[in-house]
Amino acid sequence: MSKSQFVIGVDYGSDSVRSVIVNALNGEEIASSVYEYPRWRDGLFCQPAVNQFRQHPQDYIDGLEATIKDCIAQAGTAAAAAVKGISIDTTGSTPVAVDRSGTPLALTPGFENNPNAMFVLWKDHTAVKEAAEINAHAALFDTNYLQYVGGIYSSEWFWAKLLHVLRIDEKVRDAAASWVEHCDWVPFLLTGGNDVTTMKRGRCSAGHKALWAEEFGGLPPDDFFSSLDPVLKGFTHKLFKDTYTADVAAGTISAEWAQRLGLSTDVVVGTGAFDAHMGAVGGQIEPYHLSKVMGTSTCDILVAPAAEMQDKLVHGICGQVNGSVIPGMTGLEAGQSAFGDTYAWFKNIISWPVNNLLSQSKVIDAATAAALKAELSELIIPELSRQAALLPVDGPNELAVDWFNGRRTPDANQELKGAITGLSLGSDAPRVFRALAEATCFGAKSIVERFISEGIPVKGIIGIGGVAKKSPFVMQMMADVLDMPIRIHQFKHTCALGAAMFAAVVAGIYPTIEEAMQAMGRGFDEQYHPNADLKDIYSKRYNQYKNLGEFVAGQVSKTAELQNI
């Protein structure tokens, strides 16, 4: 293979999009670029108090163009001419209502500022009621349509969000020709798609979030949905039957986008998938090793040879789908709804005076206040981590539960709440931060325990993402809590690297994703080993965490019952 064969991986995260140009020969990063969504950064179209989180499609379009053009500017025109393929991953389930041309309604007249016409971000929990109705409704059918999504449907997923939007917004309901995932729409956009019925839907998103299954011959039947709510009648016909794994091309780049980006019209665009699934590939996942993509939330991916899964169904996870990660293997997904977001929440709590009062200072000028605010923002988490690491593990420490954005796995329940107990007048910021970090590690342990209890061995942990790369304190604690070593993948933008590996396959550079992983994998630059002396202490603390979780869940349930009286 010529060294001049390059590929582009695009990774859409919760706060930003990043693109990388990668040498398909060896996985070397040639250029990278990150773009923060400006509307999201400014809090537009979001209402955190009611768990509404929406993103405008224009942010996605602007970020796609800006990052790829920036990468090409860094790499040079010769590199641009050598780009053979592009693949995309996104957060999910992050769907949107589109018109017949496949255009998100927020990009059409009359819907520009309507949050219901925008992408409903994965962490949007406005559909909690609808998810509960889907779960109750599914129990009425002889066929268990939830069996391949862990038996519990979540408000973070496709159908709950669709039903919620159709119920609350008649204009969107009337205008929606279909409902599409972010990871399916971007390849459609790049290939110049103008008929939503021709959009290639990724198996990853369809199987894990939209109840598509090979065993059902596609989606559940229309009567499953229409008997739930008449607004869904006929909607399956607006969606899809066939799905495609990420090693299949969605098409070639359109002349318009080739010109906009400075690429050849021969560039092949791959079918999209979710970030953690492609990230697991970028992180060189192995069978029965748990790949943890640790960012605002965690998405945990495990692959097992399909032949070895047989009739195993893992209860309480986020789905198991043949080919959702690697064709020929079953991809199993789990995760935590708040991981880095838990630390960010605490950072915002203790930063409130700086964020809200410093600008009123009569001691320093506005420019100095802004600079001081930025400086402190960068220092808070590293310093909290340093101080928390000095605290004794076996003392009467504070204890927390990490459900600040609900619980994703095991057993999805987005109505659950976070909690901190054991507080005293001696509970300072490092002590509380340590309890929160410990809670997120206990949440990770509960996922590992669920896989093992359901007959799926976990042979090792692979750490990917911002927290894995930036926080030795959290990673060492996790190794201690799990009592397992954790390997940290060395590539900074691992999800984008995984997308680039798929781009190399759809472009024909490698025949299989396994061969692309072998050639382009960049290895591991850190490994955390558990401290055997802490095993018994953390086992005791974990049991306390589970007991506190049971209490919190009981209180949330009682509160819900009282509100419904």
Q: Domain spanning 6-283+491-525: which CATH class is it, in words?
A: alpha beta
Tell me what the mean pLDDT of segment 252-266 comes to. Answer: 97
| Cross-strand pairs, 321 | 331
Is pLDDT of 360 > 70? yes
Q: What is the pLDDT of residues 153-182, one digit of tens each?
A: 999 999 999 999 999 999 999 999 999 999
Q: How confident is the model at residue 3 (pLDDT cuts 50, 70, 90)?
A: low
Cα–Cα distances in angstroms (integers) from residue 494 to residues 125, 317, 444, 520, in the given order? 27, 23, 20, 11
Q: How confident is the model at residue 544 (pLDDT cuts 50, 70, 90)?
A: very high
* Predicted pLDDT of residue 466: 87
Tell me what the mean pLDDT of segment 115-143 comes to. Answer: 97
* Predicted pLDDT of residue 489: 93
Which residues belong to CATH 3.30.420.40 in the chain? Answer: 6-283+491-525, 340-489+531-564
Q: What is the pLDDT of residues 261-293, one digit of tens each?
A: 999 999 999 999 999 999 999 999 999 999 999
Is pLDDT of 2 > 90? no
484/458 Cα distance (integer angstroms): 10
Amino acid (1-letter code) at residue 35? Y
542/438 Cα distance (integer angstroms): 9
Q: How confident is the model at residue 216 (pLDDT cuts 50, 70, 90)?
A: very high
* Predicted pLDDT of residue 76: 94
309/320 Cα distance (integer angstroms): 10
Cα–Cα distances in angstroms (integers) from residue 87 to residues 22, 142, 244, in the given order? 12, 39, 13
Is pLDDT of 562 > 90? no
Q: Domain spanning 340-489+531-564: which CATH class is it, in words?
A: alpha beta
Is pLDDT of 202 > 90? yes
Contact of 163 with 137, CB cutoff 8 Å: no
Is pLDDT of 307 > 60? yes
401/418 Cα distance (integer angstroms): 5
Is pLDDT of 564 > 80? no
Task: Residue 284: name the closest of 448, 490, 8 by CA.
Answer: 490
* Predicted pLDDT of residue 395: 81
